[in-house]
Amino acid sequence: MQQCIKRHLYPEINAKNKSPPRKPTAKELAHAHAIVDDFIPFTHGKVILIDRDAGQVVAVIEFIPISELTATEKAEINRITTFLHKWKKFVYPIAAGRGWGGRMWGVGWRKCMKALELFGRYIKLRAARSFGREYFQLAIQSQLVSRILGRMFKSMGNIPFESNRELMEKHGIPSFASGEFNDRLSKFDCAPHITFTTNGFYNQPHCDKGDASDYAFALFVPVKTSDGTLADPSTEAGASGGRFVFPDYKCYIAFQPQTVVKLLWTANQCTHCTLPGFEPKGFTRMGMLLQITKKAMNICSAIKTGLIYLQKTY
C-alpha cells in the first residue's frame, strides 16, 4: 500500500503549466532520474499497488521473463508485435505533443479531425492503396490480435475488462479489429484502437483525463527493430533500463532486459510517465495501450442515437 502525495518530477515545467509542455533539458531529465532513484522499484513477479487512503487498486503489474514464456505465449506475443511493426507502414506517427521522445502510432478507430467526417480509422490511404494485398492481410490478422490482447486484459482484471466491454456495447463503439463501424463485437474485443510506442519513447507526467474507461491495459515487450519479433533471451540483450513511474505513489516499474511486462492501471486518475532508458542498436521496447476515450464514446453514442444528425457541427 502507498499513500498518494502530489510530486513533481519536473517542477519548472510544471510551474509554467503549458500545453503541450516543453521538452526537458538534460539537466532536468537528470534531476527527474535522481528523484525517482529514491522511489520503490518493482522488478519482478506480480505486484498490486493499492492506494492506502482510498483502499483502491491503482495498478496490477506482472513481469514475465521471455525465457519463462511458453511456446504458445511467445507465438502470441510475436503475433502482436510483428502485426504492429508491419502496421507502421499504413499509418502516420501521432503528433509529437503526446511525448518528449521516441515514436507513437495508432491502429483502429478514432474521432475524425476533418470537417464533416465523424469517426474513422487511422490510415495512410496512399500506402493502403499501393499495397492493398498486404493491407488486407493485416486487417484480417487484427481479429486474432484483438482476441490475444483481450484475453491478456481479462486475465489481469475481469471486472475492468467487462466494464470496457459494456461501454463499447452501450455506446456502439467498434473494436479496432472491426472492418466496418457497425460490426458486432467478438468475445474479447475491448478497445476501439491500440496506441503503441517504440524508439525510446518517453513522456511528461500526466493523467489520461480523456479516458472514459476506469482502467487501461498496457503491454511492454523488448523487440528487434528490424521486424518487431521478440528479443532472443539466449543470445540477445534487448532493451534495458527505462522506468514507468507513478510519482504520486513514489514507485515505478523498472523495466528489465528480456522481460515482458503487463500493466493494468487507473490511467485516468493516477499520474504516470515514462523515463528514457537504454536501447542498444537493433532493439527497442514496444509499448502498447488499450483504452476507451471520452471522445470516441461520445461520438459513437451520438451516431448510435441519431443525435449527431440534429447538430450543425460535432
Beta strands in 32-128 (DSSP E): 40-42, 46-50, 57-65, 101-111, 119-121
Task: Write out pLDDT tens, residues 52-76.
Answer: 999 999 999 999 999 999 999 999 9
Q: How confident is the model at residue 302 (pLDDT cuts 50, 70, 90)?
A: confident
Is residue 273 over pLDDT 90? yes
Bridge partners (DSSP) of residue 290 are 194, 217
Grid coordinates in use for 115? Answer: 470537417
Give the per-residue pLDDT at 116: 44
Cell numbers 525510446 correspond to: 200
Q: How confident is the model at residue 314 (pLDDT cuts 50, 70, 90)?
A: very low
Grid coordinates in use for 70? Answer: 511458453
Give the per-residue pLDDT at 233: 72
Rounded to an integer, the average pLDDT of 3-20 is 90
Beta strands in the chain (DSSP E): 40-42, 46-50, 57-65, 101-111, 119-121, 193-202, 216-224, 243-246, 251-254, 259-265, 273-275, 283-290
Rounded to an integer, the average pLDDT of 66-92 is 95
Give the DSSP letter of residue 119. Answer: E
**Which of 113-127, 150-164, 210-224 shows the lowest per-residue confidence on average (mean pLDDT)?**
113-127
Q: How confident is the model at residue 183 (pLDDT cuts 50, 70, 90)?
A: confident
Q: How confident is the model at residue 96 (pLDDT cuts 50, 70, 90)?
A: confident
Rounded to an integer, the average pLDDT of 216-234 is 91
Rounded to an integer, the average pLDDT of 189-208 is 94
Q: How confident is the model at residue 177 (pLDDT cuts 50, 70, 90)?
A: confident
The domains located in the chain, with CATH, are 20-310 (3.60.130)
Rounded to an integer, the average pLDDT of 271-297 is 92
- Count CB atoms within 10 A of the CB of residue 37: 10
Rounded to an integer, the average pLDDT of 211-233 is 93
Is residue 113 over pLDDT 90? no
CA–CA gap between residue 39 and residue 87 (Å, rounded): 36
Is residue 45 over pLDDT 80? yes
Rounded to an integer, the average pLDDT of 6-28 is 91
Cell numbers 507513478 correspond to: 246
Give the per-residue pLDDT at 141: 93
Q: How confident is the model at residue 115 (pLDDT cuts 50, 70, 90)?
A: very low
The H or E element containing residue 79 is helix 71-87
Is residue 289 over pLDDT 60? yes
Taking the CA atoms of 124, 129, 130 and 132 in sequence, report the sign of the dihedral they define. positive
Is residue 204 over pLDDT 80? yes
Give the per-residue pLDDT at 68: 95
